[in-house]
Homo-oligomer: A and B are copies of this chain.
């Protein structure tokens, strides 16, 4: 059973309802949390026979408003987000999917699902494709905009455990996102994290600049949530702009239009390669149960992918496998000295 926060996201609840239906049709059991009257109306409009599908609607009376701060939002215990997360903590559902504010998802998950031992702050992570045909796991992508050095170190251990568990690499290469390769580059938290990682039990290969993230030289890229989110959204914007420029260039005259037509399947392939909406969502790592963060701007198709991804995460026991690996890895972490704790806190 997957719990759906049906009221979170730029296109909620329509996109969430329309994205949930095809997933349910393929046999994935879903609980939709939100305004029952509204959700059932939308379900009826979209598919008269939806009641024969494995979908249940759970009414929630409170609404998190657009632009509401996470610390306020989390107090609404009868919101669709809170109730969907709560369902996972009670064992009613095995994973939760939300396209709502990722800050609210973070705070609610920490409160309701609890963090795993060794983790102060959970992080959002996702795999990006590399030019060498592999993948690179990037975290944090937006959960913690102000991350202390010790949090970055925790993210590195999480990246290590994830790549171990999911890609079977025993000693994943870990890199720290910065504005230069030199140890002294970056803001204070990044410089302090460099030192912590250099003294860690991880296979730390130093700083990486974002122009090199696709080159396959690292398995994990660690960043605070602000820099990571800037990176992820810049990739998105650049891919869209390039595709748009190409389209215009091909639209110049009849001949280029004809070439463009021939190129279509090739562009489709590339777009699919870059479009992380295909994967549907990112994982919130560091809490006890699976939380899938879908894009805030998810449309029905993207949200459907997120739901299918959540189902796969449950089927493949991703979070259990990750949590087991993480427990082993973090146990090897050297105990920081008093001065390190002080300077890096």
**Which A residues are within 8 Å of any B CB, using their own CB?**
67, 69, 131, 142, 145-146, 177, 179-180, 182-188, 190, 209-214, 225-227, 229-231, 233-242, 244-246, 249-250, 256, 259, 262-263, 266, 269-270, 273-274, 296
Q: A249-B269, A263-B263, A266-B256 are in contact. Are A231 and B234 (CB under 8 A)?
A: yes
User: 6 A-B Cβ contacts within 8 A?
Assistant: A67-B182, A67-B183, A145-B187, A146-B187, A214-B240, A231-B231
- Select one of B177, B184, B187, B233 contacting A210, CB under 8 A: B233
Q: A179-B225, A240-B214 are in contact. Are A188 and B146 (CB under 8 A)?
A: yes
Is the beta-carbon distance between A142 and B179 smaller than 8 angstroms? yes
Across-interface contacts of A296 in B (CB, < 8 A): 180
14 further contact pairs, Cβ within 8 A, besides A146-B188, A210-B230, A245-B270: A131-B245, A142-B179, A146-B187, A179-B226, A179-B230, A179-B233, A210-B236, A213-B237, A227-B227, A234-B234, A238-B238, A238-B242, A242-B270, A249-B269
Copies in the complex: 2
Across-interface contacts of A236 in B (CB, < 8 A): 210-211
Report the minimum CB–CB distance from A127 to chain B (whole Å).
15
- Select one of B182, B183, B259 contacting A263, CB under 8 A: B259
Across-interface contacts of A131 in B (CB, < 8 A): 241, 244-245
Across-interface contacts of A179 in B (CB, < 8 A): 142, 145, 225-226, 229-230, 233
Across-interface contacts of A239 in B (CB, < 8 A): 238, 242
